[in-house]
Amino acid sequence: MSILRHTAHVLLATPFIVDGINAMTHPAPHAKKAAEAWSAAEDWGAPPISIEKLRAASRVCGAISTGLGIAYIIGPSKRTTATALAVLTVPLAAINAPIWVSGNRHDRKVARRKLVDYGVLFGGLLLGTVDRQGKPSLKWKRAFMKEHKQAIAAARSTVTHAS
């Protein structure tokens, strides 16, 4: 793997690892943010949830986030891990960048900035989902082998007819 690609993987994974460790060790602030987001979901018919359950969920999500971040750096299946991290980015953005929550102008500006940050992470991870590290896809390999076999068969038939 090139040094540039490895550096990009580390940079994309770092926020997930840092936030994940923070959520596991200090779940209360994460649970509070989740409770604020959940209250908006309750307006749409979601059942109420206790803060204790949200703390536990914060720890679990933190562990998942940390594990996926580490796997994206050192694991063998980068594209699968990038896909999982991209999927994880959506609820994290909804919880940590609640632009729908009313507040003062500064709070809305901070939330918009965080949403942009999550959008950048999401975009980088989407690129990671299709990064084949210079190797062709299985679809291309199959098509190439089919064309190669057809070319060999055509060459054999030409040689047979010429004899």
As a whole number, the mean pLDDT across the chain is 88
Q: What is the mean pLDDT of residues 79-93?
A: 94
Contact between residue 52 and residue 46 where contact means Cβ atoms under 8 Å apart: no
Domain locations in the chain? 3-131, 132-163
Q: Is a pLDDT exceeding 80 seen at residue 78?
A: yes
Give, in order, the Cα–Cα distances in Å from 112 to each of 100, 101, 119.
Answer: 10, 11, 10
Cβ atoms of 12 and 129 closer than 8 Å: no
127-163 tens-digit pLDDT: 988 886 666 777 877 888 898 898 888 888 887 766 6
